[in-house]
Amino acid sequence: MIQSRTHNCGELRLADAGKKVTIVGWLENVREVGSNFAFLILRDFYGTTQVVIETEEMMQTIKGINKESTISVTGTVRERESKNAKLPTGEIEVTPEAITVLGKCRHNQLPFEINKSRDADENVRLKYRFLDLRNPAVKSNIILRCQVVAELRRLMTEKGFLEITTPILTASSPEGARDYLVPARNHPGKFYALPQAPQQFKQLLMTSGFDKYFQIAPCFRDEDARADRTPGEFYQLDMEMAFATQEDVLSTLEDVLVPVFKKYGKYERVSEAPFRHISFNDAMERYGSDKPDLRIDLEVQDISAEVQGCGFGPFEGATVKAVVVDDFTQARKWIDKLLVDVEVQTGNKACWIKVDENGELTGGVSKFLTEYKDVLTAKLNLKPGSFVCMAAGKKEAAQKTAGVIRTLLGKRVPGHFDEEQYAICWIVDFPMYEMGEESGQLEFCHNPFSMPQGGMQTLLEAEGDIEKLLAINANQYDLVVNGYESASGAVRNHDPEIMVKAFQMVGLGEEDVKAKFPAMYNAFTYGAPPHAGAAPGVDRLIMLLTGEESIREVITFPMNKNAQDLMMGAPTTVEKHQLDTVHIALVEE
């Protein structure tokens, strides 16, 4: 006996024929064949079972029951005449002697058909998420998520990591995104913040003498949504190791993630460990992105020197990047669509040329490059049928635009995209600093808690020289899977003197560091071990394993693109007395 049933809707088989059973679930569908004959499909978490109505009494019983009501069916199992080999229960059916309504659906019309809910408008799905999740195809993603999280916990525990939970209410910290703030009732005018990540706490655990830490950590960032990023909250496999090097962290994650991809992934092929290491600069030069999709076999090439003086304005004094596709047969309309899509995605224009059957440059901006045919042919290995798409501008803009060109060409031109695999690599050697787009000032590029390569000596040698500072690399690394950043990590800056010096480069002094990170700074002055860690994103990992294009498909109760919970009605207004309690007054705009 399981709860109020003898069996679930997915377990009855031909061997159970003749048994009296009780099954419970949702009334998925009723198909009436005659006045006293109907087929009823009952669905629960485990599957579906067919119930056959053969009497006038039972027909009257089910006539008043709306679909998606929960019911209990007691009856006898028998062999089906017309079997369904596609269903685990397809060889049997139940003839009922009693049908009882357990929970009535009071709506004659559902917002969508349950088994086709994925075809409905997303906002309708999210408003009625409790119905959407009844769809077995939707529910399967959540089940897989549970299985993967359990497997991650098992593998990390086997490797000697302790699962330790860290606070949710903490101090605001400048970690790159906007905080969610929580007013402190007993401290007027002061606020807690929900953690963007457990970064400081896990580093403090290392200074406390714990050797290996992990948790499936909730993180909160007030960011805009993307297909691969949910607004508000997300989960990550947060981990940290004391007395560890970069390679210790990378090999640990490889040992954990490869089995997970092989066991639960949609694709059979997975990059074997150790994963390929690509420097940040190499990634930008060869792929136009620091999260390259290595399933695409195209690469970006630099032709800046080769085209200078050609007379085409956008090329003059600019960085010029090119992506070449051979045996190109697409029409002009196809090319025009490509150029439009590049501009939409990057804000920058692309241009093109082709090589005709005689080896001559034609189309696009070819009139400016005719005299450069030989040098371009040698540089790009051009041949009849080659297509060259180019981007020009400042170095970073040209790189990123070429990266989009590479991706679009790779996925649209047949033969260049080997989709059915998990192509995984590490991006390493990130710049420590960058020039802020808005501020125009030197800023941390990735993570302010990272150790600069070369330590204090590198910082001292570069102090006061912007170019040298921009050339400093940090001990930072990202895991990239099929073009998605799936984990970030670093060897941490555990030395308070080096930390202060690193922050001085961006205009923050020792007192600023003490004020912004008081606990961590103080703890490091008591003898901190070298330590390193990373944090793979659980939601994004599940998205990749399932092959879903939207991360919302693998989150049980996601918000929509505008950071609204349509089901619960959040965010919402609150009563004035609630605001008064936490000493907040709203100001009309």
d(CA 351, CA 367): 12
State residue 228's pLDDT score. 83
Question: Between the CA of residue 168 and those of 172, 218, 380, 494, what are the distances in Å?
Answer: 11, 8, 54, 24
Angle, vertex CA 531, rays to CA 530 and CA 532, nearest 5: 140
3-state helix, strand, coil in the chain (%, to 5): 35, 25, 40
DSSP secondary structure code for residue 66 in this structure: P
- Taking the C-alpha atoms of residue 295 and residue 299, their distance in angstroms, rounded to an integer, is 11
**Predicted local confidence at residue 174, as pLDDT:** 63
Which amino acid is it at 275?
F
pLDDT at 176: 66
Per-residue pLDDT, 516? 87
Which domains does the chain carry? 14-103 (2.40.50.140), 131-268+484-491+529-589 (3.30.930.10), 296-417 (3.30.1360.30)
pLDDT in tens, 375-404: 999 999 999 999 999 999 999 999 999 999
The structure tokens 């981990």 sit at 239
So what's the pLDDT on residue 446? Answer: 81
Q: Which residues of the chain have pLDDT under 70?
A: 1-3, 174-176
Tens digits of per-residue pLDDT, 494-533? 999 999 999 999 999 999 999 888 999 999 999 999 999 9
Secondary structure (DSSP) of 335-373? HHHHHHHHHHHHSS-EEEEEE-TTS-EESTTHHHHGGGH
Whole-angstrom distance, CA of residue 105 vs CA of residue 65: 8
Decide if 126 contacts 561 (C-beta within 8 A): no
Share of the chain above pLDDT 70, in %: 99
- Residue 173 is predicted with a pLDDT of 76
